[in-house]
Structure 1
Amino acid sequence: MADEQYQDWLTKSVALYRRMPQDLREDLLKMIPEFIRKVKWVGQEGQHVTEEIKVCIAAEACIPLLRLKGGLDIYRRMELVEVFPEDLAKVSGPGVAGDA
């Protein structure tokens, strides 16, 4: 069930996920829950951190690690993800491949 919900959120919100081959999508879906568990999530300036927000941020963080030796171990010192309410796309304009 979570995978289906994750796929819906990622298809809607993560541009690179939409362009990714199926085998990479499967690897990403395995990494996301581990990343989410690994860090503390803190909303700033009144931002409520939903599961959808966590999944999309985790995906953007994990995509560069796909196929890299060590995987999530690269983030071994990361303890905290702070989420702000401001939409960075509005501040900086649309990116070529997404908003990461």
Structure 2
Amino acid sequence: MEILTLQNPDIQHNCTVKKVDDKGKESVCNGHLREWLTVPDELRKQLKPGETYYRCRRCGAVYRGPIRRHLRGVQVSNRSIVPQPPLPTQFPVVEV
């Protein structure tokens, strides 16, 4: 399995693997990268501290890069992310 590195870890969210279709035309996958949480143990041992694996949802390519805390919903710069309160309903609830 080939493990790619993120080209620009701060802004790269899409896969950049080039593929050739049936007609011979070359194109970029552009699948969305998601953090791969079920990494096999032999790959997990190769990680450096502060790194994680990302996997393309379309072609399955595996990338290695830094952990993006803003995507995990954990503490960011000593402040926890607070969910917004639900929006009020459009029509008021009337009890009969």
Q: TM-score range by the shorter chain?
A: under 0.3
Q: TM-score, normalised by structure 2?
A: 0.20
- From the two aligned structures, give the one with the greater helix fraction: 1
Pick the structure with greater CA Rg. Answer: 2
- From the two aligned structures, give the one with the greater strand fraction: 2
Q: TM-score, normalised by structure 1?
A: 0.20
Higher relative contact order (CA 8 A, sep 6+): 1
